Amino acid sequence: MSNMLVEAELMNGNSPLEKKGPHLRPLLKWAGGKHQLLGELLPRIPEKYGRYIEPFFGGGALFFAVAPERGVISDSNPELVNLYRCIADDVEGVIGCLQNFENTEEDFYAVRGMDWKAIPPSLAAARTLYLNRTCYNGLFRVNGSGHFNVPFGHYKKAKILDEASLRASSALLRNTLILCGDYRGILKEYAEPGDFVFLDPPYLPVSEYADFRRYTKEQFYEEDHRDLAREVDRLQSLGCHVILTNSDHPLVHDLYRKYRIDIVSSRRLISCKGNGRSGRDVIVAASPAPSVSTPLRADILPVQLKQYPATRFMGSKNKLLGEIWSVASQFRFERVVDLFSGSGVVGYLFKAQGKTVMSNDHMAMSATFARAMIENNDALLPEEEALMLLEPIRPVDRFVERTFGDLYFSDEDNRLIDILRANIKAIREPLKRAIARSALIRACLKKRPRGVFTYVGQRYDDGRKDLSIPFDRHFIEAVRSVNGAVFNNGRRNCSRHGDAMTLEGYDADLVYIDPPYYTPLSDNAYVRRYHFVEGLALDWVGVQIQEETVTRKFRSYPTPFSSRNGAQSAFEQLFGKFRESVLLVSYSSNGYPTLPEMVRMMRKHKKHVEVVPVNYRYSFGNRNRKGKENKNAVREYLFVGF
């Protein structure tokens, strides 16, 4: 099996090795800053990655050297965050304020005495820069009350204002997400597979001169470093590239022993004693976990797959089949369960690849599709027999005509649907009956604007050709399509209509799970959208129509995936039930449980868990410029447990 690294969605990433010209210098002189280590750090950054994320930003030497096109930076120090935001949004205002400051002791203490929270943001940013460039040794240190307390530096040639540098930094920061907060929340919210994360936490002290904490009220103790190590493990499992710096301390070596650790010499610029100005740093490099992802090619899919009838079914993975197969094909498996078959196209993919397929769904409509085209290896519905189904040769109960009159179709079409229902029920051969019923369902979906039954009437008629084609022609064309999809793969495949949570006694090598995604922004009620055609598949046996509703729908089937807690419990149960099988899960980035929660649950049952981003994005809105990404923009992931 291939052990390639996650590379999906990275082709448009940033490469520090391709940067030309001099590096931008950091705006601040910073205790523990990484300017001196750039020669060691830059070669370790991956050539391709998604976003650059640095949650312990401080002076940001590496960020300014790399100048990423897509950056997320943060710090828990609000005064620092104010500085970078003001440089991004109002650099000319900051420059104007700096022009009024002079490098004198009197000016220094007057400016130091200002409360940065009580003055305009741009003046506060200028104050931060001024104090940093004129105070003793360029320290940033506050007392217990949060007030800056470093004395005047007495530098004769302190460069207070560097307009070119400020404007260049502003251009970079304008395209950067600048946040204030704890690193845990930042990484949980923004880190995604393929991103590059640089972690420069407050160092573990190795001598009286080496306590390089952030010189703010923030403290970083041993347990904090252990928490950070656990976060690095999560990021690496998620598929991120991580580089971490710290002191050459035994605990650091112990916490990161499974990763590459390099020891490098460094200079300590904040020590007042010569023997305290040199030391050894460690650089930890955590590459993404080995991935089953491979480069995607259109030609990896079998020609037979083109015979599967086109579908607009909600949640269909028709456009993601290449990605799904590129992952699944790296495992040895013969028997596969498609646990939530939906449109049936993924199960059909596995059948076309010569696998034995168990297709399952709690909707009768989906089970009917699977019976007609996955379980069925050789039965066909001849066209002359299909044409006879359009004739009123049997008693008709007029159920659709009476129940759904003036709702979805014309009276003529409703009468024809009732005729087809009566004749299809009389077909003795189950597989032929499945073909006919699949064709009837497909004809209804084609003839319906938007293909859903959440509204009545024809107000969404967009002039599509399908809407003007007679119903009988839709039916016959659907029969031809379903017949064309029938083939024999030499395996005994089966279709099951039932709850995924109750599937027992089927020994699968691989289980594909594509459940209804639970999100707080949209519902996953398939029955609400397709109740009419689901009723056709059941012939309305066993369901109670809600007569008081305008659409004459029936109650949605109970499912644990209709709530956040229910979905989490269901995943826990499914992962445990199929722990002996390879698990392949399609999921959305805005679904609940969240991506980290999914990984954590799967890791209880699988030694290896990977997250593969796929080249597909649903987008329902635009991204805002300054740190407020639209939560409706989501992407697909494949979780793999093996």
pLDDT tens for 305-347 read: 999 998 767 667 888 898 899 889 889 999 999 999 999 999 9
Out of 286, 305, 336, a domain closes at 286
Name which of 426-430, 540-544, 631-635 the model is least confident about.
631-635
Local confidence band at 3 (pLDDT 50, 70, 90 cut-offs): very low
- Respond yes or no on whether the N-terminal peptide bond of residue 560 is cis (omega within 30° of 0): no
Q: Are 602 and 582 in contact (CB under 8 A)?
A: no
Distance CA 374, CA 359 (A): 8
Position 616 scores a pLDDT of: 53
Position 315 scores a pLDDT of: 67
State whether 257 and 391 are in the same domain: no
Strand-pairing partners, residue 265, are 280
Domain membership of residue 523 (yes or no) is no
Position 523 scores a pLDDT of: 57
pLDDT in tens, 150-187: 899 888 888 888 899 999 999 999 999 999 999 999 99
Name which of 29-38, 66-75, 439-448, 519-528 the model is least confident about.
519-528
pLDDT in tens, 561-601: 878 888 899 999 999 999 999 999 998 777 788 888 888 89
Domain membership of residue 526 (yes or no) is no
Q: Are 199 and 228 in contact (CB under 8 A)?
A: yes
State whether 256 and 323 are in the same domain: no
Provide CB contacts within 8 A for 160, sequence distance 6+: 98, 101, 102, 103, 129, 130, 133, 134
Domain membership of residue 6 (yes or no) is no
Out of 252, 286, 320, a domain closes at 286
State whether 281 and 303 are in the same domain: no
State whether 233 and 317 are in the same domain: no
Name which of 45-49, 401-405, 615-619, 636-640 the model is least confident about.
615-619
State whether 439 and 512 are in the same domain: no
Q: Are 502 and 574 in contact (CB under 8 A)?
A: no
Domain that holds residue 406: 383-485+534-542
Domain membership of residue 527 (yes or no) is no
Name which of 269-273, 351-355, 535-539 the model is least confident about.
269-273
Position 318 scores a pLDDT of: 80
Name the domain count of the chain. Answer: 3
Domain membership of residue 7 (yes or no) is no
Distance CA 117, CA 114 (A): 9
Distance CA 627, CA 391 (A): 63
pLDDT in tens, 76-85: 989 999 999 9
Tell me the CA distances in angstroms from 414 to 149, 401, 404, one per residue in order: 83, 5, 8
Q: Which of 13-22, 104-113, 425-434, 457-466 has the highest mean pLDDT?
A: 425-434
Provide CB contacts within 8 A for 591, sequence distance 6+: 517, 518, 519, 567
State whether 27 and 106 are in the same domain: yes
Domain membership of residue 177 (yes or no) is yes
Position 594 scores a pLDDT of: 84
Position 474 scores a pLDDT of: 96
| CATH number of the domain encompassing residue 359 | 3.40.50.150
Domain membership of residue 10 (yes or no) is no
The residue that leads in pLDDT, 320 or 403, is 403
State whether 35 and 80 are in the same domain: yes
Do the bridges between strand 260-267 and strand 609-618 make them parallel or antiparallel, or are there none, so unpaired? unpaired
Out of 251, 270, 286, a domain closes at 286
pLDDT in tens, 206-250: 654 344 333 333 568 889 999 999 999 999 988 899 999 998 899
Q: Is the pLDDT of residue 508 over 60?
A: yes
State whether 49 and 117 are in the same domain: yes
State whether 491 and 480 are in the same domain: no
Chain centroid to CA 317 = 16
Q: Is the pLDDT of residue 619 over 50?
A: no
Segment (H or E) for 337: strand 335-338
**Which pair of tokens denotes residue 472?**
């009988």
Using a pLDDT cut of 70, give the percent of the chain over it: 85
Q: Are 242 and 227 in contact (CB under 8 A)?
A: no
Distance CA 486, CA 307 (A): 8
Position 295 scores a pLDDT of: 46
Segment (H or E) for 618: strand 609-618
State whether 184 and 249 are in the same domain: yes
The letter for the amino acid at 224 is: D
State whether 196 and 215 are in the same domain: yes
pLDDT in tens, 247-286: 889 999 999 988 888 888 765 443 333 344 456 889 999 9
Sign of the CA dihedral 310, 311, 312, 318?
negative
Domain membership of residue 154 (yes or no) is yes
The letter for the amino acid at 536 is: L
State whether 79 and 34 are in the same domain: yes
